[in-house]
Structure 1
Amino acid sequence: MRNLKLIWDFKGPEAERTAAHHLIHLDDYLKNEKVTSIATGVEQVSDNHHIAYVALKETFMPSVRDALKPHRGQLWNDL
């Protein structure tokens, strides 16, 4: 079973704050829907581009994708 990283992109001068706020909602959703995540967080891509993400097992991906509409996804490499 693969691990996936679902990503929400935020750009602009408020990108870091917006991504951090979005992460609160992601964590709430995971808790309320009893979805086990591998990791969640915020990462800086550039000065004006931050992401919020959730890493999870592939079996959880369809329901989370359909409910939360991530902008993109990739394989999760936790090394």
Structure 2
Amino acid sequence: MNRKIKLLWDFRGEDASETAKHHTNHLKEFATLEKLPFYEIDIKEKNPMLVSAFIVVDEMDMKIYRDALKPHRGEVF
């Protein structure tokens, strides 16, 4: 069974929420242009000054996303 990986990009500051939302647009564009599968793209707010944009992908596709998009961190979903 293939594991799912959540790749995350952290944004800090007063505009963190808007920046993270905007970043999700780029994640969707990349996946569409490259014809890569994904499960979910969204944001996660830890507090108003720290918001993460994320994408959930299959482990076998993770390296393509990682190498092209340079996430700040990843975790098993």
- TM-score, normalised to structure 1's length? 0.94
Residue 43 of structure 1 and its aligned partner are, at CA, apart by 1.1
Q: Which residue of 1 aligns with 2:20?
A: 19
Deviations 1:28-54 (A, max 9, x none): 000001111011101101120001000
Taking every aligned residue pair, what percent have the same amino acid on both sides? 37
CA distance in 1, matches of 2:47, 2:75: 19
For structure 1, the 5+ residue unaligned runs are none
Structure 1 counterpart of 2:14, one-letter code: P
For structure 2, the 5+ residue unaligned runs are none
How many pairs does the alignment contain?
Answer: 76
CA RMSD of superposed structures (Å): 0.5
Deviations 1:18-77 (A, max 9, x none): 00001100000000011110111011011200010000100110011000000000011x
CA distance in 2, matches of 1:73, 1:54: 10
Structure 2 counterpart of 1:31, one-letter code: T
Q: Which residue of 2 aligns with 1:40?
A: 41
CA distance in 1, matches of 2:52, 2:12: 9
**Aligned 1:1-12 pairs, distance under 5 A:** 1-12=2-13
- TM-score, normalised to structure 2's length? 0.96
CA distance in 1, matches of 2:58, 2:52: 19
Q: Which residue of 1 aligns with 2:55?
A: 54
